[in-house]
Chains A and B, each alone.
Chain A
Amino acid sequence: MSKETEQVEEQATEFRTKFDQIRSELGKMMVGQEEIIQGVLVAFFAAGHVLLEGVPGLGKTMLVRTLAEAVDLNFSRVQFTPDLMPADIIGTNIIIEDEKGQKRFQFQRGPVFAHVLLADEINRATPKTQSALLEAMQEKQVTVGGTHHKVEEPFLVLATQNPLEMEGTYPLPEAQLDRFFFKLKVNYPTEDDLHTILDRTTKKEAPDVRKVINREEILKLRELVREVPMARDIQAHAIQILMSTHPENKEASPLAKKYARYGASPRGLQAMILAANIYALLDGRFHAARADIERAALPALRHRVLLNFEGEAEGKSTDEVIREAVERTATTA
């Protein structure tokens, strides 16, 4: 075995170790929700952003805060309200007076410049405010007064949407939804989980979260994720899943043809590939497989497929469309 191979194996082992450590730290504070924790971590190491959807009180804020503590990164939280302005997120220029008594503008950074940003109830803010955040998510920079201000890596935005109280809200437009790496649905905890939650949160002692990784290690592991190779046929498999969600495509699944208005974008394909790489590393492999692609398909594509009126009227969900697309592709492979 060559040196480089040994080096790669060491890095992969380190990745798995760190991942497990962060997961275990998050697990201290968030009971159950294993899929959510893993999804957030996968998006984190894939340099993506996550949209969390769930009813209030399920620990979404706790999750993000704990993550920030475990990875030793800056954390900020923004509660989106209808009167929130873009400057409240990205920052603004303020007039300051220097030592000489001269006044000048100085850019005051907004909460978007944290490494980990929790955008709570993002759908309550106006589209203008939403766009300001989404620009930062995509461009990794903000523009204020003609000046570009870069956001420091790693930059993770976890936005939440409350599926209740949709009246008076501004659901994210489809184009903006596409910028999120994963959309994760936070389910209500089970009875056993509720017991555990009570044991942990209503007692005198609270669990302590320790820092397990630093910023440089995170960036290094992110590079390792992007090094994972994928065979061409495996890529073709991912592309086939994506194309099956497009209703105009002749290979589209029956549900997609009937209920989908638009299929997933290429960003969804990128998300599937990167997530598959991470799953492969976690599984001790150095190559992504079709099983990894299929595992990443649902969280990566569910918010990128748009249903038509008939699909919404009949109560169909994008999850059904994507599951059928995955099954059909697996059968024909």
Chain B
Amino acid sequence: MELLPRILRAAQARISWQLFLTYLGLLLAVASSALLLVGILQFLADAPPFRTDFLLGALAAAFTGALYLLWRGHPTLSQTAHILDGAGKTKDRYYTAYLFGQSPAPERMEEAAIAECQQFIQRTEWRPLTPIRFPRTLIVALAPLAALAFLQLQYTLNNKAAESDVSLQKVVDQHSKKLSDLAAKIDEARREHQSAELELLVKELRNTSKRISEQRPNNEEIRKAAMREFSSLEAMLQEMMRSAQLDASPEELKSLAEALKQNDQEEAAKLVEEGKFEEAAKKLEELAKKLKEASNPEQIRQQLAESMREGVDRLSEDQKKQVAEQMKQLAQAAASMQDPEVQEALKKLQQLMKDLAKMQQNRQAQKKGQEKQQQQQQQAGSQQREVPMTAESLKQLIEALEQMKRQLQEGGDPQPGEGDQMLTLQMPGQQGEPGNMPGSMDASGDPSGNPGSELDFGTTDTPFGAEQPEKPKAEGPAKRITGSLGEGETLREFIGAAGDDSKAKQRYKEIYQATQAEAQDAVTQETIPLGSRLLIRRYFESIRPKE
């Protein structure tokens, strides 16, 4: 009899283990779901979804909960015996032997029962009746954890992107500061030379600096905005460079005029000041003649010749300031030119002036076209600015912009012209082509013809045609179809009815169900002969509605 209690205690331990694992699996599934929910909330609040302290807390809570549930619901020995009997189909031998064994004085039949049960228990292996299995709920618990891991990965990736956003923003802020510094330098030059164009350039630089330093939602937006601004600024500066090649800035013209004045060429100086290069060229031609006839110091002549040559050679490459300085030196040394060199230099200077005049004419023609387009764009509400060229600052600006663009180009390929507050420029060759500018519209307000752009309003207000389609008529009078009988057989059947409009108020099934209880009471309460009750039941069965 000692065997049974030992077996029951061992089985109780195994069952308790299995229960603990089952509870643990269940609670872990609940805890992991809770962790996932918290992780989602954390993720939405832009905080790390996975936290070690949360996980440890959930594990501890699940473990403690499982222990508590086991403590509350652990099986007693009699319950263990029931479990063994139920699992092993032992005909309740474990429980019977345990229960009868508790009796201090079992009856003879009980003793026999105990003996028989013990024999059975001795020859039966009980361990397979209490297997310890891996709870399936633990697998269920893995799904939320996997989702949580994914959330954490996503958060980490977003964090890295945010960090790169921050670093990129720093880079852009640095460039913005550079632009601001450049603007400050140019502002100093503007104050010095009182130039309206420089003032516009300074303003534009500052605006650009401000725009690119604005906070963007993500890395891509930062990059796009900066590339957009730099591209537009670069294009503007390129245009200014070209204009600088065509137009003489007031400063250089002034210096040239000063130089000419110093060499008693006031008229030429005046013409250069006024930008009348053709006439200035004529004057310089006259100067050349005079120089040919006049006797000047040789040194001055050499300097002038050299200066003129170098100036002309570098005309296509240099900035406006160097050309102007060359011309200034040229003018200063005009009196010291030797005859052949002077003639040659003067010729080149003439040619320079003529070229300048020709290019000026072209430039003026372009200006007219640009002005016209500018008017058109102004009517459409876009902003176009033409900023005249400056000098070295333009070169520095362009170099700086190129450097900025190189830095930004690592992360993507932004589309120039996208985004808000875009600077649009009238590029050469784009006169009278309003359709090429994204988002632009002509004066008539017709669509741009670029579907998908922000300002594209489609091609028509009635895509399905000007006239609305008629709705089909759903109701109408019944039509009688007439015809004639053929040669085939016809079958006619006339069904007499009580009336066309007679309809039952209630379904038969409802009536049957409503009266069923009363019929049953009538059958049981009425004094019906026993032999007739069956007939009555059969009748009611026959009238029962078919399902």
Flag if A9 contacts B530 (CB, 8 Å). Answer: no
Interface residues of B in 480-527 (CB under 8 A from A): 516, 519-520, 523
Interface residue A284 (Cβ < 8 Å from any Cβ of B): yes
Interface residues of A in 228-248 (CB under 8 A from B): 228-229, 231-234
Knowing A167-B535, A309-B519, say if A231 contacts B112 (CB, 8 Å).
Answer: no
Docked Cα-Cα span, A228 to B115, in Å, equals 14
Flag if A231 contacts B519 (CB, 8 Å). Answer: no
Residue from A2, A127, A228, A309 within 8 A of B540 (CB atoms) = A309
Q: Chain B: which residue is nearest A9 at the CB level?
A: B112
Flag if A287 contacts B96 (CB, 8 Å). Answer: yes
Knowing A285-B91, A286-B113, A312-B537, say if A170 contacts B530 (CB, 8 Å).
Answer: yes
A12, A280, A286 — most chain B CB neighbours (10 Å): A286
Per-position contact with B for A278-298: 1 when CB-CB < 8 Å, else 0? 001001111101111000000
- By size class, the interface of chain B is 20 to 34
Flag if B82 contacts A233 (CB, 8 Å). Answer: yes
Question: Chain B's nearest CB lies how many Å from the CB of A173?
Answer: 8
Q: Chain B: which residue is nearest A237 at the CB level?
A: B92
Interface residue A227 (Cβ < 8 Å from any Cβ of B): yes
Docked Cα-Cα span, A166 to B117, in Å, equals 50
Interface residues of A in 285-333 (CB under 8 A from B): 285-287, 289-292, 308-310, 312-313, 333
Flag if A5 contacts B115 (CB, 8 Å). Answer: yes
Interface residue A270 (Cβ < 8 Å from any Cβ of B): no
Knowing A167-B534, A231-B99, say if A309 contacts B111 (CB, 8 Å).
Answer: no
Interface residue B412 (Cβ < 8 Å from any Cβ of A): no
Interface residues of A in 165-203 (CB under 8 A from B): 166-171
Flag if B520 contacts A231 (CB, 8 Å). Answer: no
Flag if A229 contacts B115 (CB, 8 Å). Answer: no
Docked Cα-Cα span, A312 to B544, in Å, equals 12
Residues of A within 8 A of B544 (CB): 313
Docked Cα-Cα span, A227 to B95, in Å, equals 19
Per-position contact with A for B65-109: 1 when CB-CB < 8 Å, else 0? 000000000000010001000100101110110011000000111
Per-position contact with B for A38-58: 1 when CB-CB < 8 Å, else 0? 000000000000000000000
Question: Chain A's nearest CB lies how many Å from the CB of B292?
Answer: 128
Flag if B95 contacts A12 (CB, 8 Å). Answer: no
Flag if A290 contacts B92 (CB, 8 Å). Answer: yes
Q: Chain A: which residue is nearest B90 at the CB level?
A: A289
Interface residue B531 (Cβ < 8 Å from any Cβ of A): yes
Docked Cα-Cα span, A9 to B111, in Å, equals 10
Q: Chain B: which residue is nearest A232 at the CB level?
A: B99
Interface residue A8 (Cβ < 8 Å from any Cβ of B): yes
Docked Cα-Cα span, A310 to B540, in Å, equals 10
Interface residue B475 (Cβ < 8 Å from any Cβ of A): no
Interface residue B454 (Cβ < 8 Å from any Cβ of A): no
Per-position contact with B for A1-22: 1 when CB-CB < 8 Å, else 0? 1101101110010000000000
Residues of B within 8 A of A167 (CB): 531, 534-535
Residue from B110, B520, B534 within 8 A of A308 (CB atoms) = B520
Q: Chain B: which residue is nearest A283 at the CB level?
A: B91
Interface residue B116 (Cβ < 8 Å from any Cβ of A): yes
Residues of A within 8 A of B112 (CB): 4-5, 8-9, 12, 286
Flag if A287 contacts B113 (CB, 8 Å). Answer: yes
Flag if A286 contacts B116 (CB, 8 Å). Answer: yes
Knowing A231-B99, A309-B516, A309-B540, say if A4 contacts B113 (CB, 8 Å).
Answer: no
Flag if A166 contacts B534 (CB, 8 Å). Answer: yes
Flag if B113 contacts A229 (CB, 8 Å). Answer: yes
Instruction: Determine the main DSSP class of B at the interface with A.
Output: helix
Docked Cα-Cα span, A53 to B457, in Å, equals 90
Docked Cα-Cα span, A169 to B92, in Å, equals 45
Question: Chain A's nearest CB lies how many Å from the CB of B91?
Answer: 4
Interface residues of B in 103-151 (CB under 8 A from A): 107-113, 115-117
Residues of B within 8 A of A286 (CB): 109-110, 112-113, 116
Question: Chain A's nearest CB lies how many Å from the CB of B323?
Answer: 104
Flag if A5 contacts B108 (CB, 8 Å). Answer: yes
Interface residue B53 (Cβ < 8 Å from any Cβ of A): no
Question: Chain A's nearest CB lies how many Å from the CB of B80?
Answer: 13
Residues of B within 8 A of A168 (CB): 531
Residues of B within 8 A of A127 (CB): 530
Flag if A309 contacts B535 (CB, 8 Å). Answer: no
Q: Chain B: which residue is nearest A313 at the CB level?
A: B541
Flag if B95 contacts A231 (CB, 8 Å). Answer: yes
B95, B96, B99 — most chain A CB neighbours (10 Å): B96
Q: Chain B: which residue is nearest A277 at the CB level?
A: B109
Flag if B109 contacts A289 (CB, 8 Å). Answer: no
Question: Chain A's nearest CB lies how many Å from the CB of B492?
Answer: 42
Residue from B86, B95, B110 within 8 A of A229 (CB atoms) = B110
Residue from A2, A287, A310 within 8 A of B92 (CB atoms) = A287
Residues of A within 8 A of B113 (CB): 229, 285-287
Docked Cα-Cα span, A235 to B529, in Å, equals 41
Residues of B within 8 A of A227 (CB): 107-109
Knowing A4-B111, A231-B96, A313-B540, say if A287 contacts B117 (CB, 8 Å).
Answer: yes
Docked Cα-Cα span, A291 to B516, in Å, equals 40
Docked Cα-Cα span, A170 to B528, in Å, equals 12
Residues of A within 8 A of B108 (CB): 2, 4-5, 7-8, 227
Docked Cα-Cα span, A308 to B99, in Å, equals 41
Docked Cα-Cα span, A25 to B117, in Å, equals 32
Residues of A within 8 A of B537 (CB): 309, 312-313
Residues of B within 8 A of A171 (CB): 530, 534
Residue from A229, A285, A291, A312 within 8 A of B107 (CB atoms) = A229
Flag if B531 contacts A310 (CB, 8 Å). Answer: no
Docked Cα-Cα span, A113 to B348, in Å, equals 159
Residues of A within 8 A of B540 (CB): 309, 313
Docked Cα-Cα span, A4 to B93, in Å, equals 20
Q: Chain B: which residue is nearest A166 at the CB level?
A: B534
Per-position contact with B for A197-228: 1 when CB-CB < 8 Å, else 0? 00000000000000000000000000000011
Residues of B within 8 A of A (CB): 78, 82, 86, 89, 91-93, 95-96, 99-100, 107-113, 115-117, 516, 519-520, 523, 530-531, 534-535, 537, 540-541, 544
Given contacts A291-B89, A309-B540, 9 further A-B contacts (CB under 8 A): A228-B109, A229-B110, A232-B99, A233-B82, A287-B96, A290-B92, A291-B92, A308-B520, A313-B540
When A and B form their complex, which 5 residue pairs have the shortest distance between CB atoms, in order from nearest? A286-B113, A4-B108, A309-B520, A287-B113, A289-B92
- A selection of 15 A-B contacts at a CB cut-off of 8 Å is A2-B111, A168-B531, A227-B108, A231-B96, A231-B100, A233-B78, A233-B99, A285-B91, A285-B116, A289-B96, A290-B92, A309-B516, A309-B537, A313-B537, A313-B544
